[in-house]
Structure 1
């Protein structure tokens, strides 16, 4: 870490404007899951309109998740060449265009637009934690919490409002899907302002963010800590996508109405905001995050065990509360550790890309394996037991990644973050 790298981040924030940067990050977080929740809300209408078979429906739901893994790997090189804010703005533009294309009455265009948006989301996922580190190194816990809270809430938000939006548009589910391009456009405008101001700042302070330091990718790939963060990210994502994809179906099979089952998913997404806001701040104030990881996995374990044990009564609602808390805690802790375990901004970019590339490729198997196991045994017991078993390696990764060590420099974190992850 150089003296320039340590001191320039607060100057970057002043150059861009704290309020502008904070609102841009929040809007960016909102846009990173809207395409998932909006598509799932009208999946039956899409299937019927285009006469899709099961494989084609699965492609629409799992394809964007695969994009999250496939396109994350290219992000560090793009960020080094063009700067993180500019690449993030382009990624949000991809999400806006991909969302808007869904208004056209064509299955290939719908799928292509969804994949384009998925590629943009992949890049945005990687760069969200990096932008937090560049502009808010002294508030990593708070800003990571706000960013991931918006990511968590956006799926349920889109799921809850897409059908009413279609009704308001005279039954046009295509129009309702396309409307989700609007928040992405707002985010693009905000990030464009951030980018213009940041590039002006960079002309005066070249390489201020330290994102192009040589050797960062090699350092991250060789680090056991980085692989532990990657394992935690991947396994918690598998849990999240498996449950988000199947919880409504599980409860519909147990006799609840489609509206009630969908409401349970939306409520779980809203509740995840509470832990998504608090766990990063708890983690960032500690020298090590092992106990935070144990708490996050414990919340998830209680939730999945409750879904397994209870039917459709009050116990199911209580279990859903813990699932929401667990998912919010785990994703926010995973994103926070991408910064806390990196010694420089360059390593944070590479660690974020690696953990999300591997993590989302792993996560894409979650919904599919849940469906396969359900099909083999005809009930949801084995799929849910499998999720409980996978909590063991998830916990081990979290405990190892939560130790007071970093990828590149065991004794210091730099970039405005004090050793041990405590905020300055």
Structure 2
């Protein structure tokens, strides 16, 4: 039941994000949003992932991790459903609530995995990342068909994903009933002065910025290149779906190659970059190949980022603190990626900056990852 609950909870950590971009053109047309405002819509949830991540330890200390996840799942369902009402206000407020909820849950799940599956960390981190990517893929591919089934209502299509959060809360309820008491996050000194912690944090943030550029802007880029909206959504869905392969195998490959995760990390970054450049500037005849390459790289670099949180930590308390720091600071940094891409479109009038911007961020992620993936441990304090 714990594994099933973890999987279904993980499935909810991306639909609120990846369901927006396939219908973004209809949202802009319906509400009159500029590209910058649309960029803010895709950026706001990612920013909330970082801003609200530090709240997770405090909530867990007061309510316990299991109860916190249950309550926040209900908030996620409410935020997701809110996007169907109140016009632009409901859309942006719902994005804020959804992003905040995902930020809190995302910090707590890795610490639960380290606590409850200490001998199977690689496998369970792979399962967690795979479920997370599957949720993103399903939402990216099914939102447009949902809209069509709901008589063209993008509001209903976005709000429908609240059902998945309610289902996760129901399946997670036995963990709440079995919780014997609050499980406060272990105390410890902040990691702000640790260079290795900052390397892990920067890598998490930069690779996440790449991912949210894909989630937020790849469909509009493809549509502007002449790809049909439904096909553009399916391309992103395929890209996210193939992430399942490296999301699960990435941690296994990284650990099989030894204590140094740098070769795996650089391979995944390279695949993602080649795939993105192909999608935004390469021949459309190879679009599906570019999507597959991008997805394989993106899934692998994200799963390695989560694995580094555990591997660079000497114990569970340090892992909890590093998780909060890397996701809090990292996702705040990641929010700048889709925002910068939207601003570049407004300034230049096209997507010509999409390739160079993605390349620069990839190189920065490689530099941070080169240091973060060495066989070293953060000093527990």
TM-score between both structures, scaled by the size of structure 1: 0.83
**Selected match of 2:379 from 408, 416, 421:** 408
Q: Which residues in structure 2 correspond to 1:55-94 (within 5 Å)? A: 55-94=36-75
Question: What is the root-mean-square deviation in Å for CA atoms of aligned residues?
Answer: 2.3
| Residue from 172, 187, 200 that aligns with 1:214 | 187
Q: CA 1:153/1:110 → structure 2, altered by over 3 Å: closer, same or farther?
A: same
CA distance in 2, matches of 1:253, 1:143: 40
Alignment of 1:19-168 (within 5 A): 20-168=1-149
Unaligned runs of 5+ in 2: none
Point out where structure 1 has 5 or more consecutive residues left out of the alignment: 1-19, 411-424
Which residue matches 1:298?
270
Q: Decide which moves more: 63-72 or 373-382.
A: 373-382
1:373–1:41 distance in 2 versus 1, CA, 3 Å: closer
Check if 1:345 corresponds to 2:336.
no
What is the CA-CA distance between 1:343 and the residue it aligns to? Answer: 1.9
Q: Deviations over 1:346-371 (max 9, x none)?
A: 22121111111111111111112223
CA distance in 2, matches of 1:54, 1:381: 15
Structure 1 residues 236 and 79, CA, compared in 2 at 3 Å: closer, same or farther? same
Displacement of 1:83: 2.4
CA distance in 2, matches of 1:58, 1:141: 35
Question: Is structure 2 residue 311 aligned with structure 1 residue 328?
Answer: no
Separation of aligned partners in 2, 1:162 and 1:144: 27
Shift of residue 308, structure 1, vs aligned partner: 5.6
User: Does the C-alpha gap of structure 1 residues 170 and 212 become closer, same or farther in structure 2, counting only changes over 3 Å?
Assistant: closer
Tell me the equivalent position of 1:230.
201
Residue 236 (structure 2) aligned to one of 254, 265, 271: 265
The answer for the alignment partner of 1:385 in structure 2 is: 356
Measure, in 2, the Cα distance between the counterparts of 1:352 and 1:297: 21
Q: Which residue of 1 aligns with 2:326?
A: 355
Q: Greater CA radius of gyration, 1 or 2?
A: 1
Cα offset for 1:55?
A: 4.6
1-structure distance, mates of 2:58, 2:236: 37
Counterparts of 1:222 and 1:249, CA distance in 2: 40
Query: How many equivalent pairs are there?
Result: 380
Greater displacement, 125-134 / 271-280: 125-134
Aligned 8 A contact 1:308 1:385 in 2 = no
1:311 aligns with 2:292: no
Find the aligned partners of 1:294 and 1:27 in 2 and give their Cα distance: 30
Change (3 A) 1:301 1:60: closer
Structure-2 change in CA distance of 1:227 and 1:190 (3 Å): same
Q: Do the aligned residues in 2 keep the contact of 1:370 with 1:383 (CA within 8 Å)?
A: yes
Asked if 2 retains the 8 angstrom alpha-carbon contact of 1:85 and 1:194, the reply is yes
Quick check: 2:222–2:279 contact (8 Å CA) kept in 1?
no
1:247 is matched with 218
**Whole-angstrom CA distance in 2 between matches of 1:391 and 1:113:** 30
Describe the superposition over 1:112-141 as per-residue Cα deviations: whole angstroms up to 9, x where unpaired. Answer: 222111110110111121121121111111
Q: What's the CA shift string for 1:172-231, capped at 9, x where partnerless?
A: 43333222111111211222211221x22x59xxx6xxx63322x42x222211111101
Aligned counterpart, 1:176? 157
Post-superposition CA distance 1:208-258 (Å, at most 9, x none): xxx63322x42x222211111101101101111112222222222322222
Deviation at 1:309, TM superposition (A): 5.3
**Shift, 1:167, TM fit:** 3.1
2:269–2:301 Cα contact (<8 Å) kept: yes
Distance 1:263 1:212, change over 3 A: closer
3-state SS, counterpart of residue 221 of structure 1: coil
Instruction: State the TM-score, normalizing by the size of structure 2.
Output: 0.92
